[in-house]
Chain A
Amino acid sequence: MINSDSRSVPEFLKPTPDLITEAFWDGLKEHRLLIQRCSQCAKFQFPPLPACRSCLSSLEWVDSKGTGTLYTWTVVRRATHSILGTWVPYVLAIIRMDEGVLFCSHVMGETPESLRADMPVRVHFVLAENGYVFPVFRVDELSDTDSRGDK
């Protein structure tokens, strides 16, 4: 499966950055996971917006801590498009970052059976064949919120 470590070059579809999101994709090239924070009310924001939805103030790009929990996932076993035929099975995951925002990503290095809701995960960066760097996640062994309680 593409989420396993055995595959040397992970595949991702090429994103289409726009005026609001360019900085996010540029940050990834430097292995920075950037999210927005309101300059006035300090609320975190992702996906990116032109202004804070709470107070309309300007947003600044800040580095996410890179840690979060596995909010939900699915193991996709049948490709819904022929282009994805070589991907299956893959773990499509939603991560709730510690800043509160959600990311869609892949969880790497785990078997489907080992995945648990709300398990702690940490970001890693991978360079895809298409030239973009993508954030992916691995179970965070160092987390002090680890449910196994062996911190």
Chain B
Amino acid sequence: MTLGSTTRKAAILGIGRSAFEKKSAEPIEALANDAIWSALNDAGLDIDDIDGVITFSLADTIPATGIATLLGMPRVGYMSTLDGGGNVVVSAVGYAAAAVQAGLASRILVVRALKARTGKRLGGTDEPEHLNTSGIRQFTGPYGWTAYLHTFSLVARRYMAEYDIGEEKMHGGLRAVVQTSRLYSSANPRAIMRDLISDDDYANSPLLSDPLRRADCCLESDGACALVVGFPDSADSSPVEIVAFREGGGPLPGGDLLAFLEWQDWSKIYANYVAEELYASAGIGPSDIDFAMLYDCFSSNILSQLEGFRFCGDGEAIDFVLEGNLSPGHSLPVNPHGGLLSEAYNHGLNGVLEAYDQLRGRSEGIQLDRAQTCLVASGGVGVGSAMILAR
């Protein structure tokens, strides 16, 4: 799908969020309502204007038809519940744009409602499914590879081996990613974690599964995000357009996001495989990107994506981060809301919402000076999705 070559491009028409909390007393349906009605209000639309819903389903969720029913949508059209997590966050928005441009729907709600802390948890928990030992996990689960923490630790260690990166350098690189996240979130009134992290704070954060510490793990939290995708109103002279969208990964990604033994080069991730086509589709390159929203389920994934999307060379991400490039006013601000590490774990859709606010110049946190073109990416190892938003 080359959205870049289409004359009329779909755009994000408005966004909305519930409150982000570590533990919400509200039911997931109430959180979804808060986000959706606020997005409709932001877009100046009513429920009659909507004829599609896209959401995704890893862990806690409300399926698309459940959302249509919750809202009492009179026009139940394009309904899609994607099977996946971080890999399909941008896909949900990209598919909405593709569906609108293909005439399958006129305006689509993209929603992610989840109680990732008080509902189904993805992290270190006693959820029975973490002890799954069937399918590929019969070869991984028995040895205690039971969490995404282990997955990303194994990937990070191979990255270190591939580029001869020692413990100390990796520690410094991951610390800088975490500290930058908190620098941004400290100014974001929605962020759950707003305290700055000192070098000592980071060093004292418990090592969970080396090289990753607790501070390198994203939050587990409750909340909902929603946005509307459609053709922009002719009165809007400067809409936030979805300029290009790509989904994919490398050969043999495996059928399980958590555990895989088929993936061949663990020092690379999905970003290495989708970047070229994404940029070609948009007709731009990495140097044209003003800021990036990268998927920070773990801080190490930021390093992988910086290289995969060619913001720096292979094995150079730590130097790139230590040079301060991710900070406000520097060459590539990343996650100005604080990301999943500090704002909230709304499974990545909160990053898309912040991208929209930045492009509109109305961020509640640190508003970036240059915010015309943004890369939004989501994904873990084998597969993921990415798009270019521009205004």
* A47 near B139: Cβ-Cβ < 8 Å: yes
* B130 near A103: Cβ-Cβ < 8 Å: no
**Distance between A139 CB and nearest chain B CB, rounded to angstroms:** 16
* A94 near B154: Cβ-Cβ < 8 Å: yes
* B134 near A105: Cβ-Cβ < 8 Å: no
What's the Cα separation between A151 and B125 when bound, in Å? 46
A interface residues, how many (CB within 8 angstroms): 39
The segment from B7-15, B202-210, B333-341, B345-353 found at the interface with A is B202-210
Determine the chain A residues whose CB is within 8 A of the CB of B212 once the complex forms.
Answer: 74
| Binary CB contact string for chain B from 103 to 131 against chain A (1 if under 8 A, 0 otherwise) | 00000000000000000000111100011
Contacts A13-B141, A15-B142, A71-B266 given: A80-B157 contact, CB under 8 Å? no
**Distance between A53 CB and nearest chain B CB, rounded to angstroms:** 8
Determine the chain B residues whose CB is within 8 A of the CB of A81 once the complex forms.
Answer: 124-126, 130-131, 146-147
| Binary CB contact string for chain A from 75 to 90 against chain B (1 if under 8 A, 0 otherwise) | 1111111111001001
Nearest residue, chain B, Cβ from A130: B142
Nearest residue, chain B, Cβ from A2: B144
Determine the chain A residues whose CB is within 8 A of the CB of B139 once the complex forms.
Answer: 15, 47, 103-104
What's the Cα separation between A30 and B136 when bound, in Å? 22
* A104 near B133: Cβ-Cβ < 8 Å: no
What's the Cα separation between A102 and B154 when bound, in Å? 13
**Distance between A144 CB and nearest chain B CB, rounded to angstroms:** 21
| Binary CB contact string for chain A from 89 to 114 against chain B (1 if under 8 A, 0 otherwise) | 01010100000011111100000100
Supply 24 A–B pairs (Cβ within 8 Å), ascending by A. A12-B143, A13-B144, A15-B141, A47-B262, A71-B158, A72-B154, A74-B154, A74-B210, A74-B212, A78-B208, A78-B209, A79-B124, A80-B130, A80-B149, A81-B124, A81-B125, A83-B131, A87-B144, A90-B144, A92-B209, A101-B261, A117-B160, A117-B161, A118-B161
| Residues of A in contact with B (beta carbons under 8 Å apart) | 12-18, 21, 46-47, 71-84, 87, 90, 92, 94, 101-106, 112, 117-118, 132, 134
List 16 other contacts, CB 8 Å, given A12-B142, A77-B207, A81-B147.
A13-B143, A15-B141, A16-B134, A18-B134, A18-B135, A47-B136, A72-B154, A72-B157, A72-B161, A74-B154, A74-B210, A76-B144, A81-B131, A104-B140, A105-B143, A134-B143
